[in-house]
Structure 1
Amino acid sequence: MTTTDTATDQRIITYSEAIREAIGQAMEADDRVFMLGEDIGIYGGAFGVSGDLYHRFGGDRIRDTPISELGIVGAAVGAALAGMRPIVEIQFSDFTNQAMDQIVNQAAKIHFMLGGAASVPMVLRAPSGSGTGAAAQHSQSLEAWFAHVPGLKVVMPATAADAKGLLLSAIDDPNPVIVLEHKLLYRTSGPVPQDAVRVPIGKTAVHREGADLTIVATGVMVSRSLEAAATLAEQGVDVSVLDPRTLTPLDDAPIIADVSRTGRALLVQEAPGHAGFTAEIAARITESPAIYRLLAPIKRLSGLNAPIPYAPQLETASVPQVADIVDTALTIMKES
């Protein structure tokens, strides 16, 4: 449902509505844009994101597919090479496992293997993360996989405005872009421009500026970090909160600048810590002049190195919560 924030006179819509609006506006503006995936037609998508797009644009442009992720992505790669602008919806990011050859060996490589003579302007959207009781095979955070592959761009929108703006930029991009949407964010709301306003790929967002500690967070951890920052402020700790938004290419300059200023860094992700993406951010900081301004060791706060449990209390305990962010931030302050 669309409402208006009277204090700011801005339109407030949900994260999922913002995605649907972006797709609709892109399809209205460009006949080459179409969507394909499982149950995205009359059913409206596994999480209801495609909604009424089938009724607006018809079955030729909102294409329900068989249950074959390999076939879906393969068809999208072929369509992109032929000049179309496909948007693939994978029901759960976990199911990209079934299509990794097409994603990693085809979509990401063709432009380079053909010496730039062809490109693959394909978008792959996938719900990721835990918190819905979907257990180990439907709750993973796999962003580090994709970020490791040359030729892929990877974005993780944390707000409704970024969900729309980054998706529009992804559709415009001549390269394959992976858009990872956290399932818990679909029903969250925020101000979103009515027009087709793009958010540039490869630009870090600074959500809050503080003097004492820099928190860098991704996905659903952005809102949790902002909530933690409010709690920390009550305890006299002034925190910055930054969201890379784009993992590849990573805009590290604002992160390095903020850590240089505060002298302390806490990196928060839902994915398991071992070989997680925030390790790349930590490495960028330590390889920069910011290392000489650190007042305490960089800390990473991540999910457990274990499959996501089904039991609700164990699922909650397996990934960082607001209290964990607050406690870790206070530990950093004590160590400096």
Structure 2
Amino acid sequence: MLGVFRHQANGARLIVSKFLGQGKGGCSVRRPFVHASPLSRGMADVAVVADKMNVRDALNSALDEELTRDPLVYVMGEEVGQYQGAYKITKGLLEKYGIERVRDTPITEMGFTGIGVGSAFYGLKPVVEFMSINFAMQAIDHVINSAAKMLYMSGGKISVPIVFRGPNGAAAGVGAQHSQCFAAWYGSCPGLKVLMPYDAEEARGLLKAAIRDPDPCIFLENELLYGVEYPMSAASKDKDFTLPIGQAKIMREGKDVTIVTFSRQVEIALKAADILAKDGISAEIINLRSIRPLDRPCINNSVRKTSRLVTLEEGWPQHGVGCEIIATICDESFFYLDAPPERICGADVPMPYAVNLEALAVPTMDDIIRIVKRCCHRGRAAA
């Protein structure tokens, strides 16, 4: 059986090579080749030893270690090789692992995503990078109808160990077609696991967990966090460090209200909690980390303690992640509530390009403080 598996995996490599080309430079992409600096060339060889690390380096280190650990893992996408990634997440990997395992692709998401999914059917473990997760819409059939459903449709015989990753959600001045949040879109699909890290430690631990997972994972990053440094624990520096998929994290304990959020909004929620504390409101902050599976026990336990719930997300309000969380609480913890749950979302419009309008389309600190205070001053126990 092992010999058959190896034969199938080798066949998958040949398929990938045939479609993506064997030339030294790989396939043509958006930008010309830019020589890496000596520092960037060595980036993939640097061990994780720092007490702080930015999200970009955390993702790079996770990819590097998993490529070393498992020869079936490979990376593919537009500009991931010679240009070292549009956001330099794959910096240094082409030089270290070669074009067999770091594959530049044409600008055709439908094509290279299909190749990635097909190779996963045969036992390889592709990490497919979308320059923006918005472009994954070009390949949605492969993601949903092929990757997400294959385990079910094959009667549990064919797993699809693939990771789809890229920047998601609002950035800065990139317009409507590059700014929507896909957490709720993918979170509604059976067969997918949807992960959204906040800081560097989560980015590193969750990406490594996603690559090792036998199921297709959607890994949604935030462009505005790539260059931000965060503390790293001693445990997170280990090459086998992973974080459990489906487990939320309580970032701050509180007793008056539960705020459930994820990705970049965690940072805003923590800052808002500091301000609310000065007004005597103790907010508990839950960082979901995993949209699907959703850590319902963590949310329920918190709301049963605080008796109030506010959800925070930058995505559109209709059918959002907050809707699912509130539905869960109404189903499972309704009689613990002292006030109606509240939602804080992005505006129900495509993201504007103008800077002043863009700022109005995403939740602000003032929004959080105002709505949390409204929640805490309502209900039978407010007085």
TM norm structure 1? 0.95
- 1: CA distance between counterparts of 2:160 and 2:295? 23
CA contact (8 A) 2:251 2:286 kept: yes
Residue 15 of structure 1 is matched in structure 2 by: 55
Map of 1:281 onto structure 2: 325
Is the CA contact 1:205–1:243 (under 8 Å) kept in the aligned structure 2?
A: yes
1:23-46 C-alpha deviation (Å, 9 max, x unpaired): 000001111111000011121211
Task: Give the fraction of aligned pairs with identical amino acids, expressed as a percent.
Answer: 38
Return 322-331 or 266-275, whichever deviates more.
Answer: 322-331
Paired residue type of 2:308: R
Q: Distance in 2 between matches of 1:199 and 1:326?
A: 31
Letter of the 1:245 counterpart: R
Correspondent of 1:88 among 128, 132, 141 = 128
* DSSP-derived class of the 1:44 partner: coil
The corresponding residue for 2:367 is 324
Are 2:309 and 1:265 aligned?
yes
Q: Which residue of 1 aligns with 2:65?
A: 25
* 1:140 counterpart (154, 176, 180): 180
Residue number in structure 2 paired with 1:105: 145
SS of equivalent residue, structure 1 residue 121: coil
For the residue of structure 1 that corresponds to 2:315, the secondary structure is: strand
Q: Distance in 1 between matches of 2:70 and 2:171?
A: 36
Q: Is the 8 A contact 1:152 1:177 kept in 2?
A: yes
Counterpart Cα distance in 1 of 2:365 and 2:205: 27
| Aligned with 1:235 (options 265, 271, 279) | 279
* Counterpart residue number, 1:295: 338
Secondary structure in 1 aligned to 2:103?
Answer: strand
SS of 1:75's partner is helix
| Residues 200-237 of structure 1 deviation map (CA, whole Å, 9 limit, x = unaligned) | 00101110100111000011111110111111111111
Maintained 8 Å contact 1:131/1:315: no
1:245: how far off? Answer: 0.8
SS, match of residue 71 in structure 1: helix
Paired amino acid for 2:338? L
Q: Give the aligned residue type for 2:357.
A: L
* Unmatched segments (≥5 aa) in structure 2: 1-38, 40-48
- Deviation track 1:117-141 (CA, whole Å, cap 9, x = no partner) reads 1110000002111132100000110
Counterpart of 2:59, as a letter, is I
Code of the aligned partner of 2:298: P
Q: Determine the structure 1 residue equivalent to 2:89.
A: 49
Runs in 1 of length 4+ with deviation above 3 angstroms? Answer: none
Structure 2 distance, partners of 1:229, 1:55, is 45
AA aligned to 1:302 is C
User: 1-side partners of 2:50 and 2:135: how far apart?
Assistant: 36
Per-residue CA distance 1:236-271 (angstroms, 9 max, x = gap): 111100011111111110111111111111100000
Q: Which amino acid aligns with 1:120?
A: V
2:348 matched residue in structure 1:
305
Cα distance, 1:278 vs. partner?
A: 1.2
Preserved contact between residue 11 and residue 194 of structure 1 (Cα < 8 Å) = no
Q: What SS does the corresponding residue of 2:339 show, helix, strand or coil?
A: coil
**Paired residue for 1:181, among 221, 229, 240?**
221
The structure with more strand, counted as a fraction of residues:
1
Within the candidate set 119, 143, 165, 2:205 is matched to: 165
Between the aligned partners of 1:131 and 1:114, the Cα distance in structure 2 is 39
The structure with the larger Rg is 2
The offset of 1:10, in angstroms, is: 6.4
Q: Tell me, what secondary structure is at the counterpart of 1:270?
A: coil
285, 289, 308: which one pairs with 1:245?
289
- Structure 2: distance between partners of 1:109 and 1:131: 31
Distance 2:336 2:324 in 1: 19
Number of the residue aligned with 1:115: 155
SS at match of 1:297: coil
Give the Cα separation in 2 of the matches to 1:157 and 1:278. Answer: 17
Counterpart residue type for residue 266 of structure 1: V
* Equivalent residue, structure 2, for 1:195: 238
1:191 CA drift (Å): 2.3
Check whether the contact 1:73–1:99 (CA below 8 A) recurs between aligned residues.
yes
Amino acid at match of 1:42: Q
Aligned partners of 1:188 and 1:335: how far apart in 2?
A: 37
**Partners of 2:173 and 2:355 within 8 A in 1:** yes
SS where residue 114 of structure 2 aligns? helix
Give runs of aligned pairs for residues 202-213 of structure 1, distance below 5 A: 202-213=246-257
Contact kept? 1:131, 1:316, Cα under 8 Å: no
Matched, 1:150 2:190: yes
Amino acid at match of 1:212: D
Distance 2:312 2:85 in 1: 30
Pairwise CA distance, 1:66: 0.4
